[in-house]
């Protein structure tokens, strides 16, 4: 897998994205769901960067599952613009953890979107929530 991220600390991610035609409506404005796709990509790459490889997820059956998304659309992005998705782990609790994202316009740094997501580690196929271990995010050390 090619690394599209910019250099950042291990618990943070910076992902460059260019707005494509399929991300927009007839007026060239980004659809609300496209922002969530950008965030999903950044969150997945952050998990991999933190050591939650796809292989480990398949091997252990422990999946990071989104339980809540809070998103604020502040300004629109438009067709062809270059954006930066910044993400980080914000808080780790006993059963859930929070990640935060912001989407910025590359040319002027304008904040377009802010987002907070709560996730839980779930053992599949049972669907059993797990406690977040002290060694988080390593999937091998989760209780």
3-state SS, residue 33: helix
Q: pLDDT tens-digit profile of 20-59?
A: 999 999 999 999 999 999 999 999 999 898 888 899 999 9
pLDDT (0 to 100) of residue 6 = 52
| Lowest-confidence region among 15-19, 43-47, 70-74, 132-136 | 132-136
Stretch among 52-56, 76-80, 105-109 having the lowest mean pLDDT: 52-56
Going by pLDDT thresholds of 50, 70 and 90, the confidence category of residue 9 is: low
Superfamily classification of domain 12-133: Hotdog Thioesterase (3.10.129.10)
Q: How far apart are CA 5 and CA 23, in angstroms?
A: 20
The catalytic residue positions are 25
Q: How many CB atoms lie within 10 A of CB 78?
A: 13
- Is pLDDT above 60 for 110? yes
Query: How many CB atoms are located within 10 Å of the residue 4 CB?
Result: 13
Q: Can you tell me the distance from the alpha carbon of 62 to that of 52, in angstroms, rounded to the nearest whole number?
A: 10
């Amino acid at each position: 897998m090619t690394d599209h991220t910019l250099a950042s600390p291990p618990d943070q991610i910076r992902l460059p994205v260019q707005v494509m035609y399929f991300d927009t409506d007839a007026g060239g404005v980004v659809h609300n769901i496209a922002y969530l796709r950008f965030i999903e990509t950044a969150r997945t790459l952050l998990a991999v960067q933190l050591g939650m490889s796809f292989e480990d997820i398949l091997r252990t059956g422990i999946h990071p599952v989104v339980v809540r998304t809070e998103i604020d659309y502040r300004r629109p992005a438009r067709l062809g613009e270059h954006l930066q998705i910044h993400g980080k782990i914000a808080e780790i609790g006993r059963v859930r953890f929070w990640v935060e994202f912001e989407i910025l316009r590359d040319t002027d740094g304008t904040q377009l979107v802010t987002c907070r997501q709560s996730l839980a580690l779930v053992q599949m196929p049972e669907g059993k929530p797990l406690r977040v271990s002290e060694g988080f995010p390593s999937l091998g050390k989760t209780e």
